[in-house]
Amino acid sequence: MSASPKKCKVGFLWDYSMETFNFGKSHPVRVGRFQMVRDFIEQVELLTAENISILKPEPLSESLLERIHAPEYLDEVRRISRTGEGEIDIDTPGFRGIYENALITTGATVTGVKAILSGEVDHFYSPTGGFHHAKYAWGGGFCVFNDIAAAIYELKSQGFSRVLVLDLDVHHGNGTQEYFYNDPDVMIISFHEDPEWLYPHDGFITDIGSDEGLGLNINMPFPMDSGDAVYRYAFDNLIPSLVEFFEPDFIFLLPGYDAHYRDSMSHLTLTTDIIRYTSKWIHQAAHKWSQGKLGVISGGGYHPEAFLWCAGTVLSVISRTDYQPPSQEPPFEDDDETWNIVKRNVSRVQELVFPILGLEK
């Protein structure tokens, strides 16, 4: 794989309007989350790098919003936003202004896409986004509007026809899968914890797309306690072949911060070492196949320190600047049972998907 340029222009999406939300003090997504990332990357001198600039997010346009969500659902979100009464779902409380805040946090991803297409930046990094649980007529899983769907529709309107979503968030992106399950223009690869144990309890190996999209929806579940070694094995045995087949013209990466061993919202045991490995690979892949067009959206991550370490790691990779997180010691290494399950799952993905795409194991 060819190396990326020495320095890439990276746009960091940031504005104080991202913080205009209030899910409640006990909710995992708390006020100050995005400010915390902005302050951290300034503290470790990433924000002052000459090739990293701040992009101000623009609200998602009404026309794009109405393309990705049902009128009835939008009316309900507007009602909740106006009155402050009701909820998007049991895990996603409503509040006054939720509609406007969701337009900004979702619009940040589309703003980043437009900045890449205009040549202003090579890549963008958003501390928010990755609202992959939101569906056409439903929100939940902390997600109101699906920014990935909106960004892909924006790209399609500009003539893009091979969009890759590498979703490494520990929770399966059930909403994004639903949008593009039969779409030949979109490949979604999701690495996530076994749906038997974790929300949203779907994303099975056998869910491989349908019709013209058959073989382009790839789900790789991991058993509890999976760590860096088995994760890298699965990545190396699946991702290169799939990406090389698809030759994407735009790539979205959800880096999977919530799979970190210090995150209490899941049961995997990854460190920033594998975060660096996967983001470095996909960064180089973007320069090989997509002319550098890469958008990174944070998605989950609910341990404050681990979230910041991961953010610093990924931003440093795509900007080719220096940052080294603290050394980390997961509680245990991958055991024989974990290895056996992961190897079996990788083989099953290959058996189901590779023949459809004309690939060899």
231 near 270, Cβ under 8 Å? Answer: yes
Cα(146)–Cα(60) distance, integer angstroms: 11
Percent of the chain with pLDDT over 70: 98
Q: Which fold has domain 10-357?
A: Arginase; Chain A (3.40.800)
Q: Where are the domains of the chain?
A: 10-357
Residues 6+ apart with CB under 8 A from 83: 96
Please state the separation of Cα 188 from the chain's center in Å.
11
Whether the pLDDT of residue 214 is over 90: the answer is yes
Check residue 2 and give its pLDDT.
45
Greater pLDDT, 88 or 361: 88
- Distance set, CA 70 to CA 112, 138, 165, 176 (Å): 24, 8, 23, 15
Q: Residues, the chain, total?
A: 361
Nearest partner of 109 among 159, 173, 61, 157, judged by Cα: 61
Whether the pLDDT of residue 6 is over 90: the answer is no
| Averaged pLDDT for residues 40-66 | 96
Check residue 22 and give its pLDDT.
84
Q: What is the pLDDT of residues 33-44, one digit of tens each?
A: 899 999 999 999
Cα(278)–Cα(239) distance, integer angstroms: 10
Question: Can you give the pTM of this predicted structure?
Answer: 0.96
Cα(136)–Cα(179) distance, integer angstroms: 8
Residue 133 annotated as catalytic: yes
For residue 286 the two structure tokens come to: 């973007």
Cα(29)–Cα(24) distance, integer angstroms: 9
Whether the pLDDT of residue 178 is over 50: the answer is yes
Residues 6+ apart with CB under 8 A from 305: 262
- Distance set, CA 162 to CA 138, 155, 186, 209, 286 (Å): 26, 10, 6, 15, 12
| Averaged pLDDT for residues 190-209 | 96
| Averaged pLDDT for residues 303-323 | 96
Whether the pLDDT of residue 303 is over 80: the answer is yes
Check residue 360 and give its pLDDT.
87
- Active-site residue identified among 69, 132, 133, 267: 133
- DSSP-derived pairing of the beta strands 250-254 and 163-167: parallel
Check residue 7 and give its pLDDT.
84
* Amino acid type, 178: E
Q: Which residues pair with 294 in a beta bridge?
A: 123, 251
| Averaged pLDDT for residues 189-212 | 97
